[in-house]
């Protein structure tokens, strides 16, 4: 079997307390994947023991750690970076996927494979808007945002709501 995906929204790091930031990934694991309210050292210890079990005939790591939104972290990143470097980065049963809108210039990511998503072109944007019954916006500042599929979807939804409630 393939790895177990663990999706972690890094924007939550900003609201975490100082003590939660010290072991943010483990705290998040306890809260969102193990159903606990707080960091539980005994559960975390069992998690690491499970992760360290001999991997017979495994082609993939046990965990795919998906860290989403590194660029959204506004709080001090040092505790998170220390935790990633010391516990997670080099563990043979953990594969890390890090997303960021800006290229992260971090020494610990050396050796990571970089994948850059291509934005939508104007033809795709125009087709999506047409399917939604909308025209291409005339404000040139909006066009670069619409290259992102999520932003395009938000734009069309908010435009439809504006039309619905403005009349």
Segment 1-57, tens digit of pLDDT: 789 999 999 999 999 999 999 999 999 999 999 999 889 999 999 999 999 998 777
Report the distance separating Cα 130 and Cα 139, nearest Å.
17
pLDDT of residue 62: 93
> Percentage of the chain with pLDDT > 90?
55
Which residue matches tokens 């025209």? Answer: 135
Lowest mean pLDDT among 5-19, 56-70, 81-95, 99-113: 99-113
Report the distance separating Cα 136 and Cα 98, nearest Å.
33
Angstrom distances, CA of residue 63 to CA of 27, 43, 75, 89, 94:
16, 16, 26, 12, 5
pLDDT of residue 105: 67
């Amino acid at each position: 079997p393939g790895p177990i995906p663990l999706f972690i929204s890094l924007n939550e790091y900003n609201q975490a307390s100082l003590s939660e930031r010290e072991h943010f990934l483990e705290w998040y694991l306890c809260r969102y994947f193990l159903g606990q309210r707080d960091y539980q050292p005994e559960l975390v210890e069992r998690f690491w023991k499970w992760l360290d079990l001999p991997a017979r005939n495994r082609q993939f790591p046990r965990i795919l750690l998906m860290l989403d939104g590194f660029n959204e972290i506004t709080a001090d990143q040092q505790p998170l970076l220390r935790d990633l470097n010391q516990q997670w980065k080099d563990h043979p049963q953990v594969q890390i996927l890090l997303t960021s809108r800006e290229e992260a210039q971090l020494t610990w990511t050396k050796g990571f494979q970089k994948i850059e998503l291509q934005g939508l072109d104007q033809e795709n944007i125009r087709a999506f808007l047409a399917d939604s019954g909308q025209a291409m916006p005339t404000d040139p500042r909006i066009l670069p945002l619409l290259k992102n599929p999520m932003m395009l979807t938000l734009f069309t939804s908010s435009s439809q709501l504006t039309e619905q409630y403005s009349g």
